[in-house]
């Protein structure tokens, strides 16, 4: 069974008088370990799709199986627990807690998982080492560069050993060289067996994914697999 199975998902918002069909029947299956880029113009429904996939929003109709569970039926509390155990988020604007040390930022998901303090610290440290920030444990976000902040955010996303990492325009606030660093990191996560779904509107970022899905008007209009570009940090100056 696939890690993600979506069948006829719909999601409609009311904006003023008009109904906006953000998702108008999306069906999709993603296997464990895939690296998928979701592309589309703004208003195409890709953000709504990511919100539903991330269990932050619930579809109006359709089925969504994540790791074998029908998450469309869960309560807010149960969704929080799914987000905590199965998902990891990376945002465009990093969303790190200000004036809080990197290691404490990374510990946050473990805090809500009820992991004991010593174990939290150990795992957060390991995650930061994994993203190459083993020397920056005690730095606060304001003492880190944009690329470093996004790496802290990635460490936070993977500290819970999630099945699926959702990255919403993770390179949107970064320059090209740093973007490649971040993509290399995400690709390396894919090699460890994590599934990565990436929202982007930049084709050259989507090129690092092995599968790319294009959305328009709430529907998937293209879904193709190809040989991904390998992100090599430092290759572009």
Partner 1 sequence: MNLWALLRTALLALARNRLRSLLTALGIIIGVAAVIAMVSIGEGAKAQVEQTFSAMGTNLLVVRSGSSGFGGARGGAGSQPTLSWDDLRAIQTELPSVRYAAPELRTSASVISDEQNWTTRIAGVTADYLHIRNWSIARGHGLPDADQDAGAKVALLGQTVVDKLYGPYVDPIGQSIRIRNVPFEVIGVLASKGQSAFGEDYDDTVLVPVRVFADRLEGGLKAFIAGTIYVGAMPGVSTQRTERDITALLRDRHRIREGREDDFSVRNLEELASARQASTQTLTTLLAAIAAVSLLVGGIGVMNIMLVSVTERTREIGLRMAVGARPADILWQFLIEALVLALVGGVVGVVLGIGIAERLSASFSWPLLIRLDVVLYAVAVSAAVGVVFGLYPARRAAQLDPIEALRYE
- Min dist CB 193 to partner 1, Å, is 21
Stretch that binds partner 1, among 36-44, 106-114, 207-215, 227-235 (CB under 8 A): 106-114
**Of how many residues is the chain composed?**
237
Among 27, 95, 161, 188, binds partner 1 (CB under 8 A): 95
The interface mask with partner 1, positions 69-88, x = CB under 8 A, is -------xx--xx-xxx---
User: Is there binding between residue 113 and partner 1 (CB under 8 A)?
Assistant: yes
Residue 207: Cβ within 10 Å count: 16
Q: Do residues 88 and 165 touch, judged by C-beta distance below 8 A?
A: yes
User: Is there binding between residue 119 and partner 1 (CB under 8 A)?
Assistant: no
- Min dist CB 95 to partner 1, Å, is 5
- Min dist CB 80 to partner 1, Å, is 4
Helix (H, G, I), strand (E, B) or coil at 237: coil
The interface mask with partner 1, positions 138-177, x = CB under 8 A, is ------------------x---x-----------------
- Min dist CB 66 to partner 1, Å, is 14
Q: How far apart are CA 33 and CA 56, in angstroms?
A: 22
Instruction: Show the tokens assigned to 77.
Output: 């509390």
* Helix 102-113 vs helix 117-130: crossing angle, to nearest 10: 130
- Min dist CB 235 to partner 1, Å, is 32
Q: Could you tell me where the beta strands, DSSP code E, fall in the chain?
A: 4-15, 18-30, 35-39, 61-66, 69-70, 87-90, 164-168, 195-199, 211-216, 219-225
Q: How far apart are CA 222 and CA 214, in angstroms?
A: 5
User: Which residues here bind partner 1, judged by CB under 8 A?
Assistant: 51, 54, 56-57, 76-77, 80-81, 83-85, 89, 91, 95, 97-100, 108-109, 111-114, 117, 156, 160
């Amino acid at each position: 069974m696939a890690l993600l199975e979506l069948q006829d998902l719909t999601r409609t918002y009311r904006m003023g008088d008009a109904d906006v069909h953000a998702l108008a029947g999306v069906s999709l299956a993603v296997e464990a370990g895939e690296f998928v880029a979701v592309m589309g113009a703004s208003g195409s429904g890709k953000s709504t799709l990511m919100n539903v996939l991330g269990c932050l929003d619930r579809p109006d109709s359709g089925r969504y199986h994540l790791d074998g569970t029908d998450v469309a039926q869960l309560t807010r509390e149960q969704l929080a627990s799914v987000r905590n155990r199965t998902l990891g988020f990376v945002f465009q604007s990093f969303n790190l807690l200000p004036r809080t040390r990197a290691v404490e930022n990374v510990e946050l998901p473990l805090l809500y998982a009820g992991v004991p303090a010593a174990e939290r610290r150990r795992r957060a440290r390991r995650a930061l080492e994994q993203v190459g920030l083993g020397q920056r444990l005690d730095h606060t976000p304001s003492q880190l560069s944009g690329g470093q902040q996004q790496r802290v955010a990635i460490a936070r996303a993977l500290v819970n050993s999630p099945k699926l990492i959702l990255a919403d325009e993770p390179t949107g606030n970064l320059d090209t060289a740093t973007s490649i660093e971040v993509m290399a990191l995400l690709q390396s996560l894919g090699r460890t067996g994590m599934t990565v779904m990436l929202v982007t509107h930049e084709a050259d970022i989507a090129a690092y994914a092995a599968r790319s899905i294009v959305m328009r008007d709430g529907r998937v209009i293209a879904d193709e697999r190809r040989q991904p570009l390998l992100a090599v940090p430092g290759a572009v100056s």
